Amino acid sequence: MLTAHQIDQVVAAALVEDAPWGDATSAAIIPAAATATARLVPREAGVLSGGEVFAAAMRLTDSAIVVDLAVSDGTAFRPGDALAEVTGPARSVLQAERVALNFVQRMSGIATLTARYVVETAGTRARIVDTRKTTPGLRAFERHAVISGGGRNHRFSLSDAVLAKDNHLALLTAGGRSLTEVLREVRSSLGHTMRFEVEVDRVDQIAPVLAAGVDTIMLDNFALPELREAVALIGGRAIVEASGGVNLETVRAIAETGVDLISVGALTHSARAIDLGLDVVLAP
């Protein structure tokens, strides 16, 4: 869940980066007493995310700015819709504009792309989930945007769950140790609330991993026939996650194999920003 503290911390840093000594242009051109009203308007269709972040950029620039959010995160919009209205000192509105737009455009792009994946998998059991392939410092914002688009969050950080991947397994089984044995040792060392997931890249790894009592098995870059075979082999004894080779053209077929989760790094590392503008409608 995106908190007010997280929003203010990240947005404040961005505002300092963009105007460390103020906005030279607005100070030179715009009268100090001028006020303005502007609307957040999309140039293309999409799904909104980051409304509160947009409002925070305005508020932290100048507490005299008033932001009226017309729709909530997760709302689909069309070109020309009024998503928010901003009223306040004109210099401050213009100073905050770029940072406010950067965040809401990026977050809405992620939400919009996520919503497309969710639509593609409708009617299947598969949930679309994100990964840790996020922009450093912006993970909370980008993960919130995935939720806005109808997706789900994977572990938020390395601290949240145990996920043993190929490099972990290579080190654990060095010297010929049994995969099941080492995974059981890991399982026994964990607290009762800690989830345990293991990545496999071959069908023959599934049985020894299942024998260790893990919670989730990630099938990495499996072909469709292998995915179906793996789902049948696991037989509901663990959550099944598919990863690798996922795009809008392949995700439906992957979902139809019966997997529970489909993790998609592209949701956060490849989403295109949505074109949103802040249009001044009243400048006395």
Q: Looking at the annotation, which residues are catalytic?
A: 98, 133, 165, 199, 220
Strands (E) across the chain are located at 35-42, 46-47, 66-69, 76-77, 84-89, 127-129, 162-164, 196-200, 216-220, 239-243, 261-263, 276-282
Give 103's Cβ-side CA count (13 Å radius): 29
What own/partner pairs with CB < 8 Å and gap ≥ 24 does 1-8 have? 1/144, 2/52, 2/140, 2/141, 2/143, 2/144, 3/140, 4/52, 4/56, 6/140, 6/141, 7/52, 7/53, 7/56, 7/141, 8/56, 8/60
Is the Cα torsion angle 143, 147, 150, 156 positive or negative in sign? positive
Residue 205 backbone phi and psi in degrees, to 5 = -85, -15
Give 122's Cβ-side CA count (13 Å radius): 6
Describe the chain by its helix, strand, coil percentages, rounded to 5.
40, 20, 40
Rounded to a whole number of angstroms, the CA Rg of the chain reads 23
Strand, coil or helix: 32: coil
Amino acid at residue number 91: R
> What number of other Cβ atoms are within 10 A of residue 64's Cβ?
13
Amino acid at residue number 243: S
